[in-house]
Amino acid sequence: MSSSTSPEPRVTRRSLPTRMLRAARLDGRLYAEVRADSAGTAQAVAVVALVGVAHGLGTIVRALLAGWAPGAAVLVAVLAEVAFWAVLSSAVYLVGRHVLGATVAYGQVLRPLGFASAPGLFILGASVASGVGAEAPALAALALWRLAAYFVDVRHALGLGMARSIAALVVGVAATLMILVALTGALWRVLEPE
Amino acid sequence: MSQPPAVEPPTRAVEAGSPWWHAAHRLARYTWLTLLFRAPTAALGGHTAPAAPVATLARQ
């Protein structure tokens, strides 16, 4: 048996729910498997789409429970999920390949990163928790879960050590947050011009 | 008499009412990114806890 950061593992076709469950359980072999499965991009897109829909529904639930109008917030939630995937994968790829020296193609970062967003489906549970005053801890737990999945994903996608993987993830998340803030501001100027 | 050095006004980015802060606030409020934004926006002077100034006013 090869180590966790060894070259391409044997690709086996798996159903989407099985792969999503393994991704949510932070199964490193799943991320290595998806990295090598060039035909798995459609599944990664499906995961992000499902999480985006869950995110939109979760925002509606939180809005109704908190008494504010969902409106454009749903659009922000759905688009943020897709943009987070696209921007974070680009940032991790650029930092990993051109700064940290990883030998990786963009698709090999993009696919596993889509699966790493699988814990985001639990945004619906976290949203319902807001009805009993537990929104902050529920969202905090979800954020930590997602960050843990991203770390396992980046480690296997880039094939680097722990310190370099953390560096790529921190730089990638920071750059992604700045770009998402700018995109949200631009979207809001379109939705609600002064 | 020499003039005192001019005080650098706060940049728009750290003002509580700046477009950047409002965009960050919306992104945090409507998505799962709340935790990631709470500490940075507090460090930049954002109003992450509106109860604090209300309590301050109540004591005065």
Residues A104-124 have a mean pLDDT of 94
CB atoms within 10 A of CB A185: 18
pLDDT of residue B50: 36
At A150, give phi and psi (nearest 5°): -65, -40
**In a mutagenesis test of the B interface, which of A184, A190, A192 is the best target, namely the one with the most B β-carbons within 10 Å?**
A184
| Complex prediction ipTM | 0.73
Give A43-81 pLDDT, tens digit per residue: 999 999 999 999 899 888 888 887 878 888 888 888 889
pLDDT of residue B1: 52
Confidence class of residue B46 from pLDDT cuts 50, 70 and 90? low
pLDDT beyond 50 at B11:
no
Is B36's CB within 8 Å of A173's CB?
Answer: yes
Is A76's CB within 8 Å of B37's CB?
Answer: no
Considering only CB atoms, which chain A residues are within 8 Å of B36?
A: 143, 173, 177
Regarding pTM above 0.80, the answer is: no
Question: In this structure, are residues A37 and A11 in contact, taking their beta carbons and an 8 Å threshold?
Answer: yes
* CA-based nearest residue in chain A for residue B33: A143
The Cα A83–Cα A88 span in angstroms is: 8
Residues B29-42 have a mean pLDDT of 69
Of A116, A88, A144, nearest to B36 by C-alpha is A144
pLDDT beyond 60 at B13:
no
The Cα A187–Cα A181 span in angstroms is: 10
* CA-based nearest residue in chain A for residue B23: A185
Considering only CB atoms, which chain B residues are within 8 Å of A76?
A: 26-27, 30-31
The Cα A185–Cα B2 span in angstroms is: 43
Residues A129-133 have a mean pLDDT of 80
pLDDT of residue B57: 36
The pair of structure tokens assigned to A189 is: 């100027």
The pair of structure tokens assigned to B21 is: 């802060």
Is A76's CB within 8 Å of B23's CB?
Answer: no
Q: Is B36 exposed, middle or buried (0-12, 13-18, 19+ CB in 10 A)?
A: buried
> Mind telling me how many Å the CA of B14 is from chain A's nearest CA?
14
Q: What is the DSSP string of A113-161?
A: HHHHTGGGGGHHHHHHHGGGT-HHHHHHHHHHHHHHHHHHHHHHHHT--
* CA-based nearest residue in chain A for residue B22: A185
Is A181's CB within 8 Å of B36's CB?
Answer: no
